Every structure is written in structure tokens, then in C-alpha cells.
Amino acid sequence: MIIRNVESNDIDDVMRVEIDNFGNVATTREAMEERAEKTPDTFYIAEVDGKFAGYMEGAVITDKHLTDELFSHVDENPEEGGYIAITSLSIDEKFQGAGIGDALIQAMKDLARGTKRKGITLTCHDYLIKYYEKKGFTYDGESKSNLGGEEWFNMIWKVGEK
């Protein structure tokens, strides 16, 4: 497996997996292209044997919780500080259960440590809380997000934790 930063020619694969996995809350192609252009340092692609397997991306924010605005617009990442706010972790169904998500999360943790971030923040559905807790994240209450009219929960991982 190879984990690397996004390139412009990855967007077709990213959008295919985004739509397959997120359906009605999938981001737009325009928003994903903006993320790839403005925040490529926090936009990872996983490949297995040269095939697109999944991705994880997000922008750096100063607050510990992300807002819905982040799903439609991002600014360039500051050089250090803040939280990496994950707006998408999505694995191609052919590669689900193969440890791709774990590897992407670990790569993002390593990046957070190396760029002097406070940690990583994300929102998830209730059925994913235990998954993220097993990855070292801490439950941090209900999110104010109502993306897609759905209920979301805050998860935080701080640099210095496992």
C-alpha cells in the first residue's frame, strides 16, 4: 500500500468513492477540487497495487470542532497549529476491511505530529463512535452540524495520545 498526497487526476476516483459511500451528504466535485488545490498537504490517497483504494482529507482549523461551512469552502492550511478537521474518510468498497482506513488515520496522525498540530477533529454517525475510539479518538459530544439533515458526533484525537 502507498499513501500519498492528492493529485488533480485523482478527483474522478475520489468523487466515485465519495458518492458511493456518502450518498446524499456527498460533497460536490467543485468543493473536492478546491480541497485538492488548497489543502493537498492534508489530503491523502491510498493505493494498493497501483489501484485507487480510498482517501482521507480535511483542512486545518483553529477551533476544536468543525462546522458545516468547512464542507463547502476551505482556506489554505497554516504551517503549524490548529486541528486537522477531517471532512471525509472514504474507502472503495473493493478494499473495505483491508486496513486502508487504519493506514490513512495513522498517516494523518503522523502528519499532525510532524506539523505541530493540536490534533485531529472529525464528526461521525453514532455507529462509528466505537470505531474511532479504537483508533485513539475521544468522544466529544453531539456536533452542531446538521449536514444532510443528519445527526453527527464530535470525535477528537490530540497529539500526544496513541
| Domain spans of the chain, in order of start | 2-158
CA-CA distances (angstroms) from residue 116 to 60, 84, 154? 11, 11, 21
Residues 154/65, Cβ–Cβ less than 8 Å? yes
Please tell me the distance from the alpha carbon of residue 40 to that of residue 44, in angstroms, as a whole number. Answer: 8
What's the average model confidence in pLDDT over 40-64? Answer: 96
Q: Which of 33, 51, 95 is nearest to 43 (CA)?
A: 33
Please tell me the distance from the alpha carbon of residue 129 to that of residue 73, in angstroms, as a whole number. Answer: 26
Q: What is the pTM of this model?
A: 0.91
CATH topology for the 2-158 domain: Aminopeptidase (3.40.630)
Q: pLDDT grade, residue 146 (50/70/90)?
A: low
Residue 62's beta-bridge partner residues? none
